[in-house]
Amino acid sequence: MSDASTRFLRACRREPTDRTPVWLMRQAGRFLPEYRALRARHGFLELCKTPALAAEVTLLPIRRFPVDAAILFADILLVLEPMGVGLEFAKGDGPVIARPVRTGADVAGLARVPVDTALAFVLETIARVRTELAGRVPLIGFAGAPFTLASYLVEGRGSRHYVHTKSLMYREPAAWHTLMAHLADVTVEYVRAQVGAGAQAVQLFDSWVGCLGPDDYREYVLPHMRRALGAIAAFGVPVIHFGTGTGALLELMRDAGGDVIGLDWRVDLGDAWDRLGPRVGVQGNLDPVALFAPPDAIRRQVARILARAGGRPGHVFNLGHGVLPETPVEHVAAVVDAVHELSAR
């Protein structure tokens, strides 16, 4: 029926699996001592841009845990660099855009460079990882969704209230839609190139779209997501459509597209799936902070989420957002094992 090599892709297609597949957002990140050792010697962008190193980081969690998918090591913000806005990952500060986009003139001034050339290093990483994985588990590619990319472009960094982003949206709606249409085009071309290079599924990260109410989502985001996800659907790989804080947006996100809808921990997985209906799968939704609890408590939380999925085909187990850097490595192992043990059919 299925094993570790097929479980994840089968679940994305809502086919039955022997166990519930599990992978973790940010599984290739700072909670791993091997990653921190590499980072002591290389900058983050340098790791992303060196295919041999990026492939190695992609494989670190696969060597340690029996997760059912690998996720490409890269970043959603890499596509912004060729636009000429000055992307940096400042120490302790997270990403910074040196020249944020705040006006219609700024939008018009964005450099337009073919993404498959500018980000050829990502495509080479994908090819290397596929060779090294040799079919053991599938490889997930990913991209930022237009709203979340726009939020970094406009704010220039992470944000709490998205004042500049929403100001552009409300004050210069024509410039906003031009920006979103451009980011949607770039996302589609980037995903096309990733699938061409060997990505077997893709996740679109709309991590911060939950800062919008439903009417604003419908007006300022949905048309662009529908167009992008419609184009991506033709590439023939499953698409996971992810956001956080999206409890009020789930039906709209489903209508925008995607085979699997990502859920954070603020929603009940069973209720959310009932709302979404049987034509989509769901991914999630353990609170990343639950990994700081003792292993027996983690196991109970996993059991609760599996019970809410109720054995419906189409559940991909994950956290509701990325693994936090201080997470104990053994607790990550405990989640993965608990999912496989408690979901065995």
Identify the residue among 82, 95, 210, 320 touching ligand CP3 (CB under 6 A).
95
Assess whether 152 carries a catalytic annotation.
yes
Report whether 317 contacts 339 (CB < 8 A): yes
Assess whether 218 carries a catalytic annotation.
no
Can you tell me the distance from the alpha carbon of 178 to that of 181, in angstroms, rounded to the nearest whole number? 5
Beta strands in the chain (DSSP E): 70-71, 87-90, 94-97, 139-144, 201-206, 239-243, 260-262, 281-286, 315-319
DSSP class of 28? S
Residue 123, token pair as written in the block: 């495509």
Give me the residues paired with residue 131 across strands. Answer: none
Assess whether 26 carries a catalytic annotation.
yes
Question: Tokens 């090599």 appear where?
Answer: 5
Q: Which of residues 313-332 bind ligand CP3 (CB under 6 A)?
A: 322
Size of the site for ligand CP3 (CB under 6 A): 21
**155-181: burial string, b at 16+ Cβ within 10 Å, e else:** bbeebeebebbbebbeebeebbbebbe
Site string for ligand CP3, 213-232 (x = CB under 6 A): --------------------
Stretch binding ligand CP3 (CB under 6 A), from 75-83, 126-134, 250-258, 298-306: 75-83
Torsion of the alpha carbons at 222, 226, 232 and 238, rounded to the nearest 10: 80
Q: Which of residues 147-186 bind ligand CP3 (CB under 6 A)?
A: 158
Q: Could you tell me the smallest distance in angstroms from the CB atom of residue 137 to ligand CP3?
A: 14
27 binds ligand CP3 (CB under 6 A): yes
Q: Could you tell me the smallest distance in angstroms from the CB atom of residue 207 to ligand CP3?
A: 3
Q: Is 258 left (phi over 0), alpha (psi -120 to 50) or beta?
A: left
- Beta carbon nearer to ligand CP3, 25 or 232: 25
Q: Could you tell me the smallest distance in angstroms from the CB atom of residue 238 to ligand CP3?
A: 16
Q: Which of residues 41-70 bind ligand CP3 (CB under 6 A)?
A: 44
Can you tell me the distance from the alpha carbon of 241 to that of 16, in angstroms, rounded to the nearest whole number? 21
Assess whether 30 carries a catalytic annotation.
yes
Q: Which of residues 249-308 bind ligand CP3 (CB under 6 A)?
A: none
- Beta carbon nearer to ligand CP3, 101 or 299: 101
Residues known to be catalytic: 26, 30, 39, 75, 152
What is the binding site for ligand CP3 (CB under 6 A)? Answer: 25-30, 39, 44, 71, 73, 75-77, 89, 94-95, 142, 158, 205, 207, 322
